[in-house]
Amino acid sequence: MTRPRLHWGFAVAAVYTLFAGSTLGFVVFAVSHPVELVSADYYERSLAHDARQAALARATALGPGVQVAIDASGSALAIALPPSHAATAKGLVTLYRPSDVHADRVVALTPDVAGRQRVPLTGLAHGRWLVRIDWTAAGIAYSCELPLVRP
């Protein structure tokens, strides 16, 4: 009994069809998944990178003067700036969610006379966040980034 043989042209066509189908499948997969940038103005931010690094270094030089923690009830973020900055500090507190750009939250930094501020966490998803505090005091820029895990 003789076994039917496949023509070599059929094998070439099958391999080509399989390659084209898998390429088309990958393109559909790639297009259906959104790509979120860290920020829409990432190029402009990269131009100010050196100034940001200097602001981070100045905040680090303050030592333990900058503190960020979730309060005991878990409903607010407690921020403490050095008392010397309390009177003149103006800036922003950014709660950045690495996994979802739409969940980010920006709050104005308005510390009391002791340099403390509470930021409510209502509506904030549980998980990992990055707290970024950018402020100016006496005309000098400071910046601080701290990881935060909301239980």
What residue spans define the domains of the chain?
42-150
> For the whole prediction, is pTM greater than 0.75?
no
Q: What distance, in Å, lies between the first and last C-alpha atoms of the chain?
A: 72
| Amino acid found at 87 | A
Percent with pLDDT over 70 in the chain: 96
Percent with pLDDT over 90 in the chain: 20
Beta bridge partners of 67: 80
Nearest 5 degrees, angle CA 63-CA 67-CA 71?
Answer: 160
CATH number of 42-150: 2.60.40.10
Q: Residue 23: is its pLDDT beyond 90? A: yes
Taking only Cα atoms into account, the Rg of the chain, rounded to an integer number of angstroms, comes to 26
More confident: 1 or 67? 67
Q: Residue 38: is its pLDDT beyond 70? A: no
DSSP string, the chain: -PPPPPPHHHHHHHHHHHHHHHHHHHHHHHHHS----S-TTHHHHHHTHHHHHHHHHHHHHTGGG-EEEE-TTSSEEEEE--HHHHTT-EEEEEEE-TT-GGG-EEEEE---TTSEEEEE-TTPPSEEEEEEEEEEETTEEEEEEEEEEE-
